[in-house]
Amino acid sequence: MKHIFNLLFVAILLIGCEEYDYLEDQGFDLEELPAYVAFNAPGNQVTLPDEEVSEADGSVALSVEVPTGSLSDVTVNYEFSGSAVFGTDFTVDGASAAGGTMTIELDPTNFNDFQNSDLEITLLTDDVEDGDKTLTVTLVSAQNVEGNTYAVGRGGTEFLRTANVIIADVDGE
């Protein structure tokens, strides 16, 4: 019985190889997805809905993932843009008006299991009636401690590379 199982396993491997060769013969170029970081979205979603918050909400968290794993922590660089003003409408610890970095840490108990990390954005109430603002956060680059570069966006594409936060104005008193 063990020999039959081994023969079936080898046959399945050969069939798999033949299918791949067939695809190449048809002009398809199959390649492995690169290691990447992206904003976390459920299921196979490829865009994030705008996060709608109020100045009075205090904060909002954007979750960033490294689904392909690493043997060390991954540092992610991000940029800010949009009509929201850093220091007036929002702030992020350790960041500047241009952007900053965050670290996604490897779980030391399971080297293939990264915890998603949240980019915590503190919302500031300016007590000025100045309308709603948009904050766009864009992931621009990522690298692990060993120096391996990670693509940004799901599968190394533009998908889930940016997140928009719409900050509703709170009227001044």
pLDDT tens, residue by residue, 13-49: 344 445 556 556 767 665 666 788 999 987 778 888 8
% helix, strand, coil for the chain, step of 5: 15, 40, 45
- pLDDT tens-digit readout, 125-144: 877 788 899 999 999 999 99
Chain length of the chain: 173
In terms of Cα–Cα distance, which of 97, 83, 50, 63 is closest to 169? 83
* C-alpha to C-alpha distance for 54 and 137, rounded to whole angstroms: 17
Residue 149 and residue 48 in contact, taking contact as beta carbons nearer than 8 Å: no
In terms of Cα–Cα distance, which of 44, 136, 50, 49 is closest to 89? 136
Q: pTM of the prediction?
A: 0.78
